Structure 1
Amino acid sequence: MARILYIEDETDIGEWVKQRLTEKDHDVRWLSSGEMAGRYIQESDIVILDVMLPGLDGFSLGKRIKKEKPDLPILMLSARTAVEDKLEGLSFADDYVTKPFHPDELVARVDVLLRRFDKQDELLQFQHLTVNTQDLHITNRETEEEIQLTGKQYHIFRYFLRHLNQILTKEQLYEGVWNEQYIEGDKTLMVHIRHLREKLEKDPAHPTIIETIRGIGYRVRK
């Protein structure tokens, strides 16, 4: 069973889609606009999102959702069939279905996305740390203490884990985590990495987990 956040303002379509998904044992929360979507993003396993919504349109809402929770799959629904619309939707969403569609096709596409994003827990060892890459639960094996990360620390370290063994520039890291263009001389990333090292490294002054690649950026190696 998956927890589905379904945002659709057309009552007839919304009712039969919710019914069909519920028949497949999914827990469906159906909203007629994106106004309240933020309350349910973190507890959802997948989002089904219509493009034409009152207020904030589906494209803008979908981009917001991906920024807040990048690992949450999004399936777009739209009557728009133009290639340009599909390309815009697929620039952030994980699938794009045009109306009209058969309910069994929608259910099948939902199942495919859920399988794609249902990654088994993977434990990685980084020197004295054990990291569960699914929920980013970090444990110091020597002290058996859990290490808690703040919001930006969490997103920075998750970005490193998605790019293990790769040298990442400051620009890549900043734009990947903040979704904004990096401005040369900005110390924000450096400050967050310093605080992150204070939590993860045995000796933050001589880091061996988050390595500095002089003149380029940073790397986390497995």
Structure 2
Amino acid sequence: MVHVLYIEDETEIGSWVTKDLTERGYEVTWLRSGEGIEKYIQTAHIVILDVMLPGLDGFSIGRRIKKEDGDLPILMLSARTAVEDKIEGLHFADDYLTKPFHPDELTARVEVLLRRYQKNDDTLKLQHLTIYTKDMRTVDNDTGIEIHLTGKQYHLFQFFIRHLNQILTKEQLYEGVWGESYIDGDKTLMVHIRYLREKIEKNPAKPTIIETIRGIGYRVKL
């Protein structure tokens, strides 16, 4: 699961951002200031950082984080719209989003940064699997054996990896993988997901990688 370190002192915006990201499948640690951030940096996949904070401001905290872990992506949030403030933030941060903002835009920017970070790393750890993102090879860490996915299994898993943490409807999956409109009642997608689970899940009867979201579709969470 993706761990978001979120630093924001405003209770109202902090509450709804934390709630929204949690509902989207992220693990969120919400801090009201930069105090005590050191113990969370090692486990965080991304930092969302407000500029106006009590004590040290977001610019100072962001520089400290980058000094400790230069590969940890930082998304700055601020009500400041001046170009000078954005430039200062982007000297160390990976993106800068001004308030107010829509939660969908925040999530989209988070996902772009996560993909960029994963791309640089070239590997993705997903429970007992290691996925080499350049050529989409999948290895079972328990056995050290590469899992061979064929045809639609490969393209289906690739589509899930490109949309980590997103709840994908049957329509989105079918159109994204088959390139056709989904017809209600068609079992093709369900059958292929069953075959895919048989190859990548430890227990296909109780899947933990490809989650079924009842009444909606499926999700793969990091």
**TM band (smaller chain):** 0.5 to 0.7
Partners of 1:99 and 1:109 in 2: CA distance = 14
Partners of 2:60 and 2:109 in 1: CA distance = 22
SS at 1:21's partner residue? Answer: helix
The one-letter amino acid paired with 1:76 is M
Residue in 2 that maps onto 1:44? 44
SS at 2:47's partner residue? Answer: strand
Partners of 1:37 and 1:121 in 2: CA distance = 26
SS at 2:96's partner residue? Answer: strand
Residue in 2 that maps onto 1:121? 123
Partners of 1:121 and 1:106 in 2: CA distance = 24
Residue in 1 that maps onto 2:15? 15
Segments of structure 2 that go 5 or more residues without pairing to the other structure are: 125-222
Residue 57 of structure 2 is aligned to residue 85 of structure 1: no
Segments of structure 1 that go 5 or more residues without pairing to the other structure are: 123-222
| Post-superposition CA distance 1:89-122 (Å, at most 9, x none) | 0000000000000011001100110001013239
Partners of 1:28 and 1:72 in 2: CA distance = 15
Bigger Rg, structure 1 or 2:
1
Partners of 1:72 and 1:112 in 2: CA distance = 13
Residue in 1 that maps onto 2:140? none
Residue 97 of structure 2 is aligned to residue 75 of structure 1: no
SS at 1:30's partner residue? Answer: strand
SS at 2:75's partner residue? Answer: strand
Residue in 2 that maps onto 1:33? 33
The one-letter amino acid paired with 1:121 is T
SS at 1:67's partner residue? Answer: helix
Partners of 2:21 and 2:9 in 1: CA distance = 17
SS at 2:4's partner residue? Answer: strand
Residue 54 of structure 2 is aligned to residue 54 of structure 1: yes
Query: Of the two structures, which has the highest relative contact order with CA contacts closer than 8 Å and spacing of 6 or more?
Result: 2
The one-letter amino acid paired with 1:103 is P
What's the C-alpha RMSD, in Å, of the aligned pairs? 1.2
Residue in 1 that maps onto 2:150? none
The one-letter amino acid paired with 1:46 is I
Question: Displaced runs of 4+ in structure 1, greater than 3 A?
Answer: none
SS at 2:28's partner residue? Answer: strand
Q: CA deviation at 1:36?
A: 1.2
Q: How does 1:183-198 map to 2 (within 5 A)?
A: none
The one-letter amino acid paired with 1:80 is R
The one-letter amino acid paired with 2:112 is V
Q: CA deviation at 1:39?
A: 1.2
| Post-superposition CA distance 1:52-74 (Å, at most 9, x none) | 00000000000000000000000
